[in-house]
Amino acid sequence: MSKIGFIGLGIMGKPMCRNLLKAGYELVVYNRSPKAIQELVQAGAEAGESPKDVAERCEIIITMLPNSPNVQEVILGPNGVLEGVRPGSIVIDMSSIAPITSREVAQVLVHKSVRFLDAPVSGGEPKAIEGSLSIMVGGDPADFEECSPIFQAMGSSALLCGDVGAGNLTKLANQIIVAINIAAVSEALMLVSKAGVNPETVYKAIRGGLAGSTVLDAKAPLMIERRFDPGFRIGLHIKDLNNVLETGHEIGSPLPLTASVMEMMQVLKAQGLDQADHGALVQYYEKLAQKELN
Ligand code: NAD
């Protein structure tokens, strides 16, 4: 079994590492703040000194970082993966970033005969812990096949979506649909609430029909209970929608609905809610209608 390097031990990276250890992989881990490294060393991983050191010691290097600049820094920056990585290795970036950055990083790595897959995930912390993430991959089919057992240790599905960048494009599509769906649920429930009809009854009445969705089932009950602890933070969703808008503008694919929901999220961020769950979008409508949902 190849030794795996894992860089970025946050909400997602830590449980993903635990599942790799459970599956029998040897791990060398690195993170900016050292506390997470120690936790994983106690679970059986080796500590890395830097991204360069991790890359020197492993043939497969996974990154799970917040956004494009972090991935560029860790892979291409000083003391980064590029400085230590050996020809023939594979870098798998599982962060949700701009597809153009995935392609740029891959183009640099290829000069050192290093292969690259972009493989963002959906499912959040609970599914990262369970090992049942959905993994969307871009890259070469043979590299994807080679890494399939690694994906299986962290997820319940891994699908090759196209060339490098296609994994992150798929993730952007996912984030558009989730954001607009949450806005639609908020708008609809606020209407009935303002009109004096119980939003919970409306939710139960419509969830089995065409308006039913995973988002409706996940978010409507929390909105009705006014529970906004994350989950998936508004700040992270803003990051994803930024990547959506930049990508769409670059290729000439307009995104009017995404742009509207982005501005709603910006209002909430300005009000200090960027750490709240993205279901807190209903609070935007509460302010407009001057009424709490429930
Ligand atoms: P996080 O902020 O909890 O973790 C990121 C980790 O990266 C932190 O531990 C940080 O210390 C480390 N880091 C940042 N810059 C670094 C650097 N230069 N060198 C070394 N370490 C560095 O984020 P997360 O929630 O784990 O999310 C990671 C990625 O997964 C993001 O792209 C996010 O959008 C995506 N994602 C998150 C969720 C979720 O529910 N949290 C769900 C799906 C996808």
Contact residues for 166 (Cβ-Cβ < 8 A; gap 6+): 99, 118, 136, 137, 138
Q: Which atom of ligand 1 is nearest to the CA of 13?
A: 26
Per cent of the chain over pLDDT 90 is 97
Q: What confidence tier does 196 reach under pLDDT thresholds 50, 70, 90?
A: very high
How far away, in angstroms, is 231 Cα from ligand 1 center? 14
Closest Cα to atom 16 of ligand 1: 32
What tens digit of pLDDT does each residue of 89-140 get? 999 999 999 999 999 999 999 999 999 999 999 998 999 999 999 999 999 9
Q: What is the DSSP letter of 85?
A: P
How far away, in angstroms, is 63 Cα from ligand 1 center? 9
Report strand pairing: 121-122 vs 90-93. unpaired
pLDDT for 76 beyond 90:
yes
pLDDT for 2 beyond 90:
no
What tens digit of pLDDT does each residue of 104-117 get? 999 999 999 999 99
Give the domain 169-289 fold. N-(1-d-carboxylethyl)-l-norvaline Dehydrogenase; domain 2 (1.10.1040)
- pTM value is 0.95
pLDDT for 1 beyond 80:
no
Instruction: Report the run of H or E that residue 155 belongs to, with start and end.
Output: strand 155-162
Mean pLDDT, all residues of the chain: 97
Residue list, ligand 1 pocket, CB within 6 Å: 7-13, 31-33, 36, 64-66, 70, 73-74, 95-96, 121-122, 124-125, 232, 236
Closest Cα to atom 30 of ligand 1: 95
How far away, in angstroms, is 85 Cα from ligand 1 center? 22
Contact residues for 145 (Cβ-Cβ < 8 A; gap 6+): none
Give the domain 4-163 fold. Rossmann fold (3.40.50)
Domain coordinates in residue numbering, the chain? 4-163, 169-289
Mean pLDDT of 185-202: 98
Catalytic site residue 14? no
Over 196-217, what HEC string results? Answer: CCCHHHHHHHHCCCCCCCHHHH
Residues 247 and 100 sit within 8 Å (Cβ to Cβ): yes
